[in-house]
Amino acid sequence: MEFTIPVATKAADFRLPGADGKDHALTDYPDKKAVVVVFTCNHCPAAIGAQDRIIALQRDYAAKGVHVIAINSNEDEAHPDDGFDKMVVRAREKAFNFPYLRDRSQAIAKAYGAQRTPHFFLLDADRKVAYHGRMDDNPYEEGKQTTSELRDALDQLLADKPVTVAPTNPIGCNVKWWGKDAHWMPKGQADFSAG
């Protein structure tokens, strides 16, 4: 069985506390044509590098019926920058225009099979996975990316076309799992990150 849920799989619902002081659920957005769930965090250089692009994604696609939800599932004992209090500060500093949620139990990260930060899951109107993987080929440096897989998949989905963008491997630090070595990755996944 694959670690990450495959395309066409119904995504697990969730209700998690947000950095805005409210709980948020996937079912809060029943009328959205698409929802982008991104597993991210505060400390990873790739996650930090992608933050402005995630903000831009929400800004550019909100009027088209798309909503972004960010989830931080990292353990926060060895990685205290990923604690909830620090999430609140980051969301305020960056003026996040999407909910930033805490999955401290890691149940949702396991349900989706999140591998890295960031790891994007594009969900269609039925909340089935249409694409998962990276946003583009360089989350570290704005302007250095040469691909746009997530936006390409979104554009196909919103045009009522089949999503032909194949899943990609996410780029970034591996998710920091409770009770695992800091660089543990699912079987078959290599850890190329130093984060």
Q: Which residues of 177-194 are buried (b: 16+ CB within 10 A; e: fewer)?
A: beeeeeeebeeebebebe
Q: Where are the domains of the chain?
A: 15-174
CATH class of segment(s) 15-174? alpha beta
d(CA 166, CA 149): 8
Q: How far is CA 145 from the centre of its chain?
A: 18
pLDDT attached to residue 195? 45
The pLDDT tens digits for 98-111 are: 999 999 999 999 99
On the question of pLDDT at 118 being above 80, the answer is yes
Does residue 191 register a pLDDT over 80? no
Give the residue-averaged pLDDT of 147-157: 98
For residue 28, give the DSSP letter.
Answer: G
The per-residue pLDDT for range 59-88, each reduced to its tens digit, is 999 999 999 999 999 999 999 999 999 999
pLDDT at residue 29 greater than cutoff 80: yes
Provide mean pLDDT across the span 111-117. 97
Residue 131: name the closest of 159, 115, 100, 152 by CA.
152
Query: Is it the case that residue 192 has pLDDT exceeding 90?
Result: no
Residues 38-59: tens digit of each pLDDT:
999 999 999 999 999 999 999 9
pLDDT at 194 over 50: no
Indicate whether 142 pLDDT > 50.
Answer: yes
